[in-house]
Structure formats: structure tokens, C-alpha cells
């Protein structure tokens, strides 16, 4: 994605208004988004039925996005505008708009005390959590680590749409030195943060015992990618490294109630339930760490 696309959004926001920008650019870029997600997010060859489901989720997200003007209508991030640009989340757009995406995590984040008002988002993707928590007033600043330059630009585009550019800091790839970097360069109080980690298996490498010690006092949400080789062994090692400073809770996906959304009440059952899927390889598992 070139800087020209971001500049086009900036000019359009100023000259024509946000809603028109969202509708116009979404239509132009939908095919690019669909192709990128089917090739990048699912790098292995998928059976035809899974490709269909992925493409259907993206198309349903487009329909609901147009219906709602690209604005989240339900859940704690209500009112957050989502740019039509998407590096990672096009297939999850519908569930985000309805406040269903990773709902178990959203519920836990509501319980974080107001003293922990800085987010460290490791694997920030499109900025859903980084900007949603800012827009909801839960946090005051978000530090976004995102390896992809495309993802970094999408975060910036989403921040622009929501008037939050001054409240985010977008950084590159994170390694095990990310806490010391934030403390040294940005004077972040590492004992008063919320840390979300979703890095496609790299969590086992990045989150060392030293990192857990440096972040003692903060709350952590870690997505565990259990399809990684020796994942059970690596989770055991992670628990051994963090238990001195944290209480541990495992979370997974639970029920979804679609009867509360009139926007999709006339959709076929198959479509309504497809949009709930988050396209995971297996039942997800997160660690929620509470400082002792």
C-alpha cells in the first residue's frame, strides 16, 4: 500500500466527509483486500470450501460495513470508525461492527482498573484494540508494534478517521526488548499498562522471564497459537516464567447471541453464523494475566 492511498483518505476526509470516503474507497479496494487475505493470512493452500467461507465472510463484512457506514454499533468500542483499508481484519469486519469479535477479551478488558490507561499492543494489525480502547476512553495512549508496513499505514488511517493520531505511537516489529525500549525512549511506566500480545506464535520467543518481570504490575492478554510445534511445552515454560508475578486465567471462545441484532435479522441463518467465525485453525486459547 502506498502513501498515496493514505493521502487520498486525508484529502477526502477534509474535502468530502468521512462517510463518503468510507463508501468510495471500500468499493475500490475490496477486491485487493479479498486477494490479500486469501494469500497472506492463509499462506497454505486451502480447500475450496474454506476459501468460499473466507470470501463469504469478507463480502458479508462489506455489506454490513456499507449498512453501518463503517462504524461499530455495538459493544465497548461503539462509535469507532473502521477504515475501508484492511491489512488483517477484512474477514472479521462484520463481527467487529457488531461487537462480537473476541468478545471474551472485550469483556475482560472492561475490568481493567482505570489506573492502567496505557496500551502496549504487540501485533497491532489494523489497530482494532489500540484505537477502540482509546475511543472508549479506557486508555489514553496506545503504543502499537506491527511488523507489516502495510499494517502500520492502516493503523494510521484508522487513527486519522477517528481523530486519534496524536494518541498513538506506531512502531515496527517487537522483540524481547520492547519493554525496555518503551521505558527508555518513551518514559512508559511499565507497571501501569495493559499489554495485548497477538503475534502468530512469536509470543513464545518474545515473552521471556525478563519481560514478565519488567511488566510486573501490568495486565497482559496473550493469544496462544497452539498450532505451533511443541506448543504445550512452550505454554508450560511460559507459565513457569510468569507465575512469580501473575495470576493466570485461560480464556476461550464462548456463545454468541445473534437475536439482538436487527440489522441481520433478515439474513439467512448460514450467513448470520458465518460472520461469527473468526477463521481460526482450532478453538482459540488466551492467557489473561493479573498482577499479584
pLDDT value of residue 48: 73
Q: In the chain, what is the greatest distance between 2 CA atoms, to the nearest angstrom?
A: 55
pLDDT value of residue 45: 55
pLDDT value of residue 46: 61
Taking the C-alpha atoms of residue 185 and residue 178, their distance in angstroms, rounded to an integer, is 10
Question: Mean pLDDT in runs of 10 for the chain (292 residues)?
Answer: 51 47 44 46 59 92 96 98 89 96 96 97 97 98 96 96 98 98 98 97 97 98 94 96 97 95 96 93 94 96
DSSP state of 163: T
For residue 23, give the H/E element and its range.
helix 18-36
Set out the domains of the chain in order of their start, with CATH numbers: 3-291 (3.40.50.150)
pLDDT value of residue 19: 43
Taking the C-alpha atoms of residue 289 and residue 123, their distance in angstroms, rounded to an integer, is 18
pLDDT value of residue 14: 46
pLDDT value of residue 42: 46
For residue 48, give the H/E element and its range.
helix 48-68
DSSP-derived secondary structure for 54-88: HHHHHHHHHHHHHHHTTB--SSTTTT-B--S--SS
Taking the C-alpha atoms of residue 219 and residue 98, their distance in angstroms, rounded to an integer, is 26
For the record, the C-alpha cell of 159 comes out as 487513527
Amino acid at each position: 500500500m502506498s502513501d498515496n492511498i493514505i493521502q487520498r483518505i486525508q484529502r477526502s476526509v477534509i474535502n468530502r466527509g468521512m462517510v463518503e470516503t468510507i463508501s468510495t474507497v471500500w468499493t475500490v479496494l475490496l477486491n485487493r483486500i479479498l486477494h490479500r487475505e486469501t494469500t497472506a493470512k492463509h499462506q497454505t493452500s486451502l480447500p475450496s470450501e474454506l476459501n468460499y467461507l473466507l470470501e463469504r465472510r469478507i463480502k458479508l463484512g462489506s455489506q454490513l460495513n456499507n449498512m453501518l457506514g463503517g462504524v461499530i454499533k455495538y459493544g465497548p468500542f461503539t462509535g469507532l470508525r473502521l477504515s475501508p483499508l484492511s491489512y488483517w481484519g477484512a474477514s472479521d469486519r462484520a463481527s467487529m461492527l457488531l461487537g462480537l469479535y473476541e468478545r471474551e477479551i472485550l469483556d475482560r478488558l472492561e475490568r481493567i482498573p482505570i489506573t492502567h490507561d496505557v496500551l502496549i499492543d504487540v501485533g497491532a494489525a489494523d489497530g482494532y484494540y489500540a484505537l477502540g480502547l482509546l475511543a472508549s476512553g479506557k486508555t489514553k495512549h496506545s503504543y502499537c508494534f506491527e511488523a507489516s508496513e502495510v499494517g502500520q499505514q492502516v493503523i494510521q488511517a484508522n487513527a486519522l478517521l477517528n481523530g486519534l493520531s496524536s494518541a498513538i505511537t506506531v512502531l515496527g516489529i517487537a522483540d524481547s526488548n520492547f519493554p525496555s525500549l518503551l521505558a527508555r525512549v518513551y518514559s512508559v511506566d511499565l507497571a501501569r499498562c495493559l499489554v495485548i500480545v497477538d503475534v502468530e506464535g512469536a509470543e513464545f520467543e518474545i515473552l521471556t522471564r525478563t519481560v514478565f518481570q519488567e511488566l510486573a504490575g501490568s495486565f497482559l492478554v496473550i493469544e496462544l497459537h497452539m498450532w505451533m510445534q511443541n506448543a504445550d511445552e512452550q505454554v508450560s515454560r511460559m507459565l513457569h516464567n510468569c507465575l512469580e508475578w501473575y495470576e493466570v486465567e485461560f480464556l476461550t471462545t464462548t456463545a454468541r447471541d445473534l437475536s439482538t441484532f436487527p440489522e441481520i435479522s433478515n439474513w439467512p441463518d448460514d450467513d448470520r453464523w458465518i460472520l461469527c467465525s473468526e477463521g481460526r485453525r482450532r478453538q482459540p486459547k488466551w492467557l489473561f494475566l493479573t498482577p499479584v
